[in-house]
Amino acid sequence: MSENQPDPVSELVERYFLDPNSLSNTEQATLIEALKADPAVRRRFRMAAHIETELRYEASGEEPVATTPSPSTGTSWPKLVFAIAATLLIGIAIGYAIWPGTGNAPPEIAVETPNPPEAVQPEAVEPELITPPNVIARLDVGHAYRFEEGFAPKEGEFLPGDYHLAEGEITLGFDNGVAVSVESPARFKVVDPLHMHLEHGRARAIVPETGHGFVIQTSKLVVEDLGTEFGVVVDDKQNQELHVFAGEVRLHEQNLPPELLTENSALAWNAQDQRRTIAADDHAFATSMSIGYKRWLDYSERLRDDPAALFYFDFETDSRESSNVTNRAEHSVVQDGHLNSGIWATGRWPEKGAMLFENPGDRIELDIPGEYDQITMMAWVQMNRYDLALQTVFNTIGFERGEHHWNLLRSGSLRMGLGGMYDFTSRASLPRNRWTHVAAQLDSIAKESIYYIDGKEVGRVAWNSTIPLQYGPSTIGAWGSVNNQGEVVYGRELRGRIDEIALFSRILSADEIAEAYEAGSNFQ
């Protein structure tokens, strides 16, 4: 089944509200069984019933009144209505205020019951205990954000209620997989796992199959997901826009029948509800990935400004023909690196630079003077292949006492060591084709080394003596060793990308390493 098409049960629900008599006896039975067996179908039915009820009420312009039961026109259809009546009434009773501002309860729905011998009795429902409100969504990522006092999530958790985003951008992650990115200034309400109201601002929803039926509602529109990605805009004058980037949505407007909008289509409404077609603009809306990139940019400024930074390479360049790799560390004594083959490439984000190491001898050469009591090294690495028994990320020329090496085994495990002291092999490994954060702390004062993958400790080594740490001529990429003729030859070539690597003459704490991982992890 195409992800852009509703499933058969959803079509039965839609047909029921468009024309109940269009369902055959078999289709009626299928819908009844689906409502009994699947909570998602019951939620879908409640949402459709609620939208239908409120649209009819808004179109009437009257106060809601109870309807009068009408005589049955058949023998089988009232059975279906009775079977779903409990679900329908629960959905209306809990008060989905789908058109805000009416101040009235939805109209009661009277349902005719058949004769007792033929009636299908609803299952008994145990009374529910009153429990605190559930967490509906969590803050996934944010950049330079601030909420107004009294309208902020507590510890990044969104309960049902109103929120006012005064500055920045955020992404809400729902437990059903839905991600909604909101840009300030914005006022919005989190209603339930499938329903969000946007009063003012700009929001983009990315909805997986597990969140099918997710709704973003405004004062003019109800936009219902059919397996898609879409954006909604409401400005301070109530001009509104709907952009569909993938899949389909079902658009509900007051006094109009539901309408399907498909990929790359967009509509706009002015304050007087006049509608026009516009071009869909994918770049006009934030995503968790674009927010993550901005957050990383801010964090990278902190790293390069650290007085202990010996080098900080972010692999940004003005020319992909350049052999110069700029050291961004502001207070460093280490000169820029020299690219001796290697390919300028794309990193974790489309806007981010990286260095691709693919061919024999691909490397960056640099020289790190001095001796150190403590160092921390961190890098983001994406391994494409493990062609060799050992592949080099960062090594000194040779492997003298006190020199630190960082290699990877064919299994993807870290193979790191300190010349004259120890070699360390991690049980954890770096997967292929995925960006991974790696860090190492070497402390000659505490006589200990600790290693991390994706912000979590994966091993530590105790030293048997104190030894100063040193580097001198070094490479990122292929390792240089001196042969019997005194020549430097290169091997252990890397097969992957690096888009950030830094060396500090101090110990970054475990919390700082975890923060560095978190700050750079929203890239997909």
Which residues are registered as beta bridge partners of 320?
none
3-state secondary structure string across 154-212: ECCEECCEEEEEEEEEEEEEECCCCEEEEEEEEEEEEEECCEEEEEEEEEEEECCHHHC
56 phi and psi, to 5 degrees?
A: -65, -40
**Which pair of structure tokens corresponds to residue 108?**
């009661």
What range does the domain containing 77 cover? 8-118
Task: Specify if 130 maps to a domain.
Answer: no
How many Å apart are CA 59 and CA 454, to the nearest integer? 55
For residue 99, pLDDT beyond 60: no
Predicted pLDDT at 23: 74
- Nearest CA to 265 out of 254, 273, 275 is that of 275
Using an 8 Å Cβ cutoff, are 216 and 192 in contact? no
Spatial distance between the Cα atoms of 122 and 105, rounded to a whole number of angstroms: 24
72 pLDDT higher than 60:
no
The strand pair at 390-396 and 353-357 is best described as: unpaired
Question: What SS3 state is found at 11?
Answer: helix
Chain segment 299-358, per-residue pLDDT in tens? 999 999 999 999 999 999 989 889 999 999 999 999 999 999 899 999 999 999 999 999
Which of 223, 185, 212 lies closest to 98 in space, CA to CA? 223
Q: Does residue 128 lie within any of the structural domains?
A: no
Chain centroid to CA 142: 11
More confident residue, 444 or 57: 444
Is the same domain home to 158 and 255? yes
Quick one: 152 and 34 in the same domain?
no
The CATH code of the domain that includes 322 is 2.60.120.200
What CATH number did the domain enclosing 145 receive? 2.60.120.1440
Strands 248-253 and 221-225 turn out to be antiparallel
pLDDT given at position 396: 93
In angstroms, rounded to a whole number, what is the distance separating the alpha carbons of residues 67 and 111?
A: 9
pLDDT at residue 46 in the model: 72
Are 187 and 333 in the same domain?
Answer: no
Q: What is the pLDDT of residues 255-308, one digit of tens each?
A: 899 999 999 999 999 999 999 999 999 999 999 999 999 999 999 999 999 999
Domain end residue (candidates: 286, 303, 331): 286
Over residues 186-195, the mean pLDDT reads 97
Say whether the peptide bond before residue 185 is cis (omega within 30 degrees of 0): yes
Mean pLDDT confidence for 189-207 = 97
At residue 79, φ and ψ (nearest 5 deg) are: -65, -40
User: Which of 107-116, 261-270, 421-430 is predicted with the least confidence, judged by mean pLDDT?
Assistant: 107-116
**Does residue 131 form part of some domain?**
no
Are 99 and 152 within one domain?
no
Q: Is residue 42 part of a domain?
A: yes
Confidence band, pLDDT 50/70/90 cuts, at residue 82: very low
Calculate the average pLDDT of the chain: 85
Residues 282, 303 within the same domain: no
404 and 433 assigned to the same domain: yes
Q: Is 321 helix (H, G, I), strand (E, B) or coil?
A: coil
| pLDDT score for 53 | 58
Which amino acid does the sequence have at 329? A
Confidence band (pLDDT; 50, 70, 90) for 37? confident
Tokens 């329908």 label which residue? 88
Positive or negative: CA dihedral 161, 162, 166, 171: positive
Q: How many residues appear in the chain?
A: 524
pTM to 2 decimals? 0.73
End-of-domain residue from the set 260, 286, 312: 286
Instruction: Give domain status of residue 500, yes or no.
Output: yes
User: Cα 73 to chain center, whole Å?
Assistant: 51
Residue 60 has pLDDT above 90, yes or no: no
Q: Checking DSSP bridges between strand 229-234 and strand 343-346, what pairing results, if any? A: unpaired
User: Which of 286, 316, 332 is at the close of a domain?
Assistant: 286
Residues 282 and 302 in one domain: no
* 232 and 354 inside one domain: no
Same domain, 308 and 430: yes
Please give the Cα distance from 9 to 244 (Å, whole number).
Answer: 24
Percent of the chain at pLDDT > 70 equals: 82
More confident residue, 419 or 64: 419
Please indicate, yes or no, if residue 125 is contained in any of the structural domains: no
Q: Can you give the pLDDT at residue 507?
A: 98
Whether residue 279 contacts residue 285, with contact meaning beta carbons closer than 8 Å, is answered with no
Q: Are residues 99 and 27 part of one domain?
A: yes
Among 128, 33, 48, 29, CA closest to 88: 48
Residue that is written with structure tokens 């077609």 in the block:
277
Spatial CB neighbours of 43, under 8 Å, sequence gap ≥ 6: 194, 213
Number of domain units in the chain: 3
3 domain residue, yes or no: no
Do 226 and 267 fall within a single domain? yes
Q: Which residues contact 256 (CB under 8 A, 6 or more apart)?
A: none
∠ Cα 153 159 161 (to 5°): 85
Q: Is 123 part of a structural domain of the chain?
A: no
Q: What is the β-pairing status of strands 324-325 and 221-225?
A: unpaired
Q: What's the pLDDT score for residue 20?
A: 72
- Residue 269 and residue 296 in one domain: no
3-state secondary structure (DSSP) of residue 21: helix
